[in-house]
Structure 1
Amino acid sequence: MNGFDSTIFSQTPCIGTDQLGSCSVVLIVSPQAAILGHVAPRPDGNDTDDPYAGDNHVRSFMDRLITYYRQYQNFMGSPNSWVICAIFGPGIALPDQQKIMEEKLRDAGLSVDTSQTYRVPYNTDHLDRGSVFVDARSGTIQVYVENRIIRSIAATSPSLGSAPADSRWDGQYYVSTQNPAYVWINGAWAIRP
């Protein structure tokens, strides 16, 4: 909770989170990789007297997540993104926080789908407990919210383009022979993910 992680599907084909309670999920998925953020509505150890603590926490979280995304943006190609929020009663539990997450993703140049939600579970025997899962094991990337597939994306290997002469294939990437920390992705040199 209150963290994010990523996966490159050719290395680890799944990523997910559960027991969301009333937390939100920010998900950025491309045919090659995914970044998943599990965002609590308030920071750990927060001052309950501060009415802006939750919104400020979400802004800070999103700034960190977007900085991380930008480091790997070239590798991800054209990703899809979602903000998945809890439904409590008749509507979104924290609409102001949903708006903050959506705006931060749009400011980063991503299109955002906010239509996917989950109901806040009222009891502990709820099978899913609020869950988001991305599964690329079958060659098709399937994005789940609870038990529902919300999107299927054809998995692809990173676009290699015309690899430069000063590179070698290592079974996964064209690697620079001059600096092995760099690989050829989407027609450009990038730090190895």
Structure 2
Amino acid sequence: MTLPVKGLVFVQDFIIRLKSSLPVALGSGLSARRYFWVGLFLSTALLVQQSIGWRWTLLTGLQDDDTYKLATGFGLLAFVLYQWRFSVKRAQGEQRKAATMMGRHKLFGTLLPLFFFFHSQTLGYGYQEIFSLTLLLAFLTGLLNFQIVQIHKPWYRPVWISAHVGLSMMLLLLMVYHVYLDYAFK
């Protein structure tokens, strides 16, 4: 079996395991603290990986393939758009629907560093670095939500939600820009 095929089998196996464990995680109603610890672990692992320059050779081979980059890029776009559904439901006044989506929003948000890592093992340069850092900041603001930080000042929640949604909006714009540049100049 060649290296890209082995890597694809590994990724496929990982996705199958993730799909089988998601219903259990979604049904169990994970606490805010558990989301926090999982997210903190994944973001710390990503930051350590970035700082020491470690690369997973198998994944590097896959990421050199344009088809893989396209698939994971669209997967990341779908992921971000799925996360936006929560905000849209809240903005439309569908509080009950949004409340049922909150657990999935937190779970998928917690997994963002993993999705990012499978798309790119580097933060990139120039606008791509700004894009990557915006993604990580939106993630961190979500991770450090008011349930975790527990600041009970009246100003904190509006400031937190403005930062999280604002960074998420900036992320979406940078994502569109990234897709445009990637395909306009190929």
**TM-score scaled to structure 2, two decimals?**
0.27
Higher strand share: 1
User: Looking at both structures, which has the greater relative contact order when contacts are Cα pairs under 8 Å and sequence separation is at least 6?
Assistant: 2
